[in-house]
Amino acid sequence: MLFQQIINGLTVGGVYALIALGYTMVYGILELINFAHGEIYMLGAYLGIILFGFFTSVGLTSHSLALSFALTIALSVLFCSAYGFTVERIAYKPLRNAPRLSPLISAIGVSIFLQNYVMLTQGATDKVFPDLLGSAGFDLLGARITYLQVLIIGVSFLLMLALHLYVTKTRMGKAMRAVAQDKVMASLVGINVDSVISVTFIIGSGLAAVAGIMVAMYYGLVNYFIGYIAGIKAFTAAVLGGIGSIPGAMFGGIFLGLIESLGASYISSEYKDAYAFAVLIVILLIRPAGIFGKSTEEKV
């Protein structure tokens, strides 16, 4: 029972972590809460259904399931990255030097726009993601683990590892950390700050797209407002871990997934969505900067 709940929690938590990374990376660099990020995740899920449906209709799926699945993910990531990039250029970049509230309101506007855009073009009813792996799986230590769960946990952790290496080891990763610490100074050592910001949005949106597809597969249903609650939860995860901190978002996401799943089975599943926020309140009372966050003192 406990092991089963841990596996369930890791599955959901991995997805939360992937979305939370997008929030935390953008916040780290722009100090902006990108409220439209949940919508990118929702777009990822829709694109997953649309693209997979397309590959099925042209016969690719019956030919090679793995290929059509891989293409679905790759193209959905590509499209969502393009959405993320465009949103930044249109809605945030012109407000780079505006008061902090302006881009925040712009983000809420983008979020409302994208929800309605999907509702109008795809309809307000639930869309169904084809059940690919079914409930196939194996038993381990008294728990039933589906292959889909293995896939979701595996992909989440691999992506997190890749992102960690990218940020700590590569040239662009160093540039991102430099921009997060001091944008002006970063530009004065030759870093193109605008392109670093674009890359941040592209990576964050790509991760959200993968999360969207995996959730669509896990729950089987998608609608135009799933981005809202997922966005709020992932944002909570990012704050829990310490907003702006990449390891914090990874930890926060997984922690949140585990809390939800354990709470739902040991306390009551009725309040599943409330546990996350209860934990958030407790953590913020004890450590206002989040678990991995550093409390910064305002300079006088």
Encoded amino acid at 229, one letter: I
Tokens 């722009």, located at residue: 30
Question: Shortest gap between Cβ of 294 and another protein (angstroms)?
Answer: 8
Which of 104, 96, 95 shows the shortest CA–CA distance to 37?
Answer: 104
Query: From the CB of 263, what's the least distance to another protein, in Å?
Result: 35
Tokens, residue 64: 């090679």
For the bound state, the minimum distance from the C-beta of residue 30 to another protein, rounded and expressed in Å, comes to 17
Nearer to another protein, 136 or 189 (CB): 189
In one-letter notation, the amino acid at residue 139 is: D
Q: CB–CB of 38/228 below 8 Å? A: yes
CB atoms < 10 A from the CB of 104, how many? 17
Nearest CB to another protein, comparing residues 175 and 276: 175
Nearer Cβ to another protein (121/295): 295
H or E element in which residue 139 lies = strand 137-140
Q: Please, which of residues 279-298 interact with another protein by CB under 8 A?
A: none
Provide the minimum distance between the beta carbon of 175 and another protein in the complex, in angstroms, as a whole number.
Answer: 6
- Closest to another protein by CB, 185 vs 267, is 185
Closer CB to another protein, 51 or 191, in the complex: 191
Residues contacting 68, CB < 8 A, separation 6+:
52, 55, 56, 60, 61
Nearer CB in complex with another protein: 58/162: 162
Least distance to another protein, CB of residue 191, Å: 6
Binding residues for another protein, how many (CB under 8 A)?
Answer: 23
Neighbours of 223 (CB within 10 A): 18
Written as six digits, the tokens of 3 are: 């092991």
Contact between 120 and another protein (CB under 8 A)?
no
Angle subtended at Cα 81 by Cα 100 and Cα 153, rounded to the nearest 5 degrees: 100
Alpha helical stretches, state H, 123-146: none
What residues numbered 192-221 form the site for another protein, per CB under 8 A? Answer: 192-193
Cβ closest to another protein, residue 184 vs residue 286: 184
d(CA 66, CA 278): 40
Tell me the one-letter amino acid at 195.
S
Kindly tell me which of 165 and 274 has the beta carbon lying closer to another protein.
Answer: 165
Question: What's the closest the beta carbon of residue 188 comes to another protein, in angstroms?
Answer: 5
Residue 105's CB: how many other CB atoms inside 10 A? 13
CB of 55 to another protein, least distance (A): 27
First CA to last CA distance, the chain:
53
Minimum CB separation of residue 98 from another protein in Å reads: 18
Q: According to CB under 8 A, which residues from 153 to 192 bind another protein?
A: 162, 165-166, 169-172, 174-175, 177-178, 181-182, 184-192
Residues that bind another protein (CB under 8 A): 162, 165-166, 169-172, 174-175, 177-178, 181-182, 184-193
